[in-house]
Amino acid sequence: MSTLKDKTVKGFFWNFLETGSSQLIALISTMILARLLVPADFGLIGMTTIFVSLGQVLVDSGFSQALIRKQECTDRDYSTVLWINISISWILYVLIFISAPWVAQYFQEPRLVLILRLLTLVLPLNAMNVIQRTILTKSLDFKQQAIITASSVTVGLVVAIIMAMQGMGVWALVGKALATQVVMALLFWTLNKWRPKAIFSWQSFHELFSFGSKLLMVYSLATVSKNIYNVVIGKKYNATELGYYTNADLMACMPVSLLTILCNRVLFPVLSPIQNDNESLRRMLRQILRPMLLIAFMMMFLFVAMADSIVSIFLGAQWLHIIPYFQILCVGYSAAVLHSVNQIIMNVKGRSDYFLRTEVIKYILIIPVIIIGIYGGIYVLIVGYAIFYWIGFLLNGFYSFRLVGYGVKAQLIDALPIILFSAIIAIITYFFGWLLPNWNAFIILILQLLVALICFVVLGRSTKLHAYYQLKELIYEYLNRVRLKE
């Protein structure tokens, strides 16, 4: 178990650098581009998101997760999957290219024809990276992935800024996406020495697809349910309103997406070798879950408390309209780590059928939420989504109890003290900022962060919150390891 813990800590560190650096660059990108572009530019990209995101899922088809889970993979397995990925990506691109005029007609936005045709070139570019990334993930080599991702996102940001400053509007966002994927493909194939062979095995295909096919359906449903809001808002309202929503969603999702990516990339390959030992699985999950929940709830609740300052500083005055959207979504996304851990449990145990079943139920449940939101207005739509996100956790947790004996009740027992702890700190932080209404937003934010940090340490020690001490132990353990290496 100590070896697993070492791998997990190391994996979390490099994944944090990779994902954290890309998220930081994405935040900087949003800050700069939000001032150079108008909300409608982001809204136009938001209208294409469902096609790009769903295309990415279809290209992968669950094969990467199947390869990670498989104990011993051969060149035959890797090569077979790569040729499938590339073939699917080009088929999808041709279909989207042909259907682009109909999409533009649906949204009544003629510019979408060329935007969609250019933007979806990311599908064949990304298809070239899937196996390279999977091999690195399987070997727990997250350092190289960190370098590649940070470098690629940085180049994309530079391209976007140059294009935006030249007055190219929405095309700056298209250029950013394409430049990022081009550089990423070049770096993955330059730094990773694996090369495909001219072989294709139907045996490998059937073996991997038997597991991956269910994940394909799961991720497809999850992608549609996540991005259907863009379709509804873009059609019922306009590109500007969708631009407000997409940036509110981006800002709210950014911190927890870092944590969920860390969970998926690190815990899945680390826990797969002990998939048949439920006691070890439960112990490892609880050891990691509680400090992760503390980070997640603290971040999201503090985002709610400091929303005025955050939006004003990072996006500017023209984006103040998104503050309530942002706060509602933060409350919803605070359950993201619980979602992620329960999904990992199902994948580790090889029960992608359970995973599929929960996504089908959630997909059915979101339909009335959308219908009510269409008639109730955009606030009702967003509140409905936040509630729906928490309901999804309850469904996933039911199957986690069946598989490893760690279900909703046990997870809530672990989570509730953390939720209460985080909420108290967020309330104190909010009212402190409320007492400084006419101060500079940046100064208010700094002071609120200091107040939150003081409250975190004082309450953590006085309440003896277990997650607080677990988080401290993980941080000290890593720092000591770094110090010994020096």
Band the pLDDT of 1: cuts 50, 70, 90: very low
Mean per-residue pLDDT, 256-261: 75
Distance CA 258, CA 255 (A): 5
Q: How distant is the alpha carbon of residue 335 from its chain centre?
A: 13
Distances (CA, A) of 27 to 20, 359, 449: 10, 30, 18
Q: Which residue has the higher pLDDT, 399 or 431?
A: 431
Distance CA 245, CA 178 (A): 23
Q: Is the pLDDT of residue 121 over 90?
A: yes
Band the pLDDT of 148: cuts 50, 70, 90: confident
Distance CA 321, CA 254 (A): 19
For the stretch 77-91, pLDDT in tens is 778 878 888 888 899
Distances (CA, A) of 205 to 67, 213, 374, 439, 450: 11, 11, 42, 61, 54
For the stretch 317-335, pLDDT in tens is 888 889 999 999 999 998 8
Within a 13 Å sphere around the CA of 287, how many CA atoms are in the beta-carbon half?
A: 17
pLDDT given for residue 99 in this prediction: 93
Task: Confirm if 365 and 372 have CB atoms less than 8 A apart.
Answer: no
Distance CA 403, CA 412 (A): 17
pLDDT given for residue 19 in this prediction: 58
Dihedral of alpha carbons 388, 393, 398, 402, sign: positive
Mean per-residue pLDDT, 424-437: 90
For the stretch 122-146, pLDDT in tens is 999 888 887 787 777 766 666 777 7
Calculate what percentage of the chain has a pLDDT beyond 90. Answer: 22
To the nearest whole number, what is the mean pLDDT of the chain?
Answer: 81
Q: Residue 104 has which token pair?
A: 């533009």
Q: Tell me the three state secondary structure of residue 309.
A: helix
Which sequence spans correspond to the domains of the chain?
1-226, 275-486
pLDDT given for residue 381 in this prediction: 87
Q: Which residue has the higher pLDDT, 315 or 199?
A: 315
Task: Confirm if 188 and 63 have CB atoms less than 8 A apart.
Answer: no
Mean per-residue pLDDT, 210-219: 70
Question: Kindly report the CA angle at 294 between 290 and 299, in degrees rounded to 5?
Answer: 150
pLDDT given for residue 272 in this prediction: 66
Stretch among 80-94, 150-164, 401-415 having the lowest mean pLDDT: 401-415
> Which H helix or E strand runs over 431?
helix 408-434
Q: Is the pLDDT of residue 382 over 70?
A: yes
pLDDT given for residue 113 in this prediction: 94
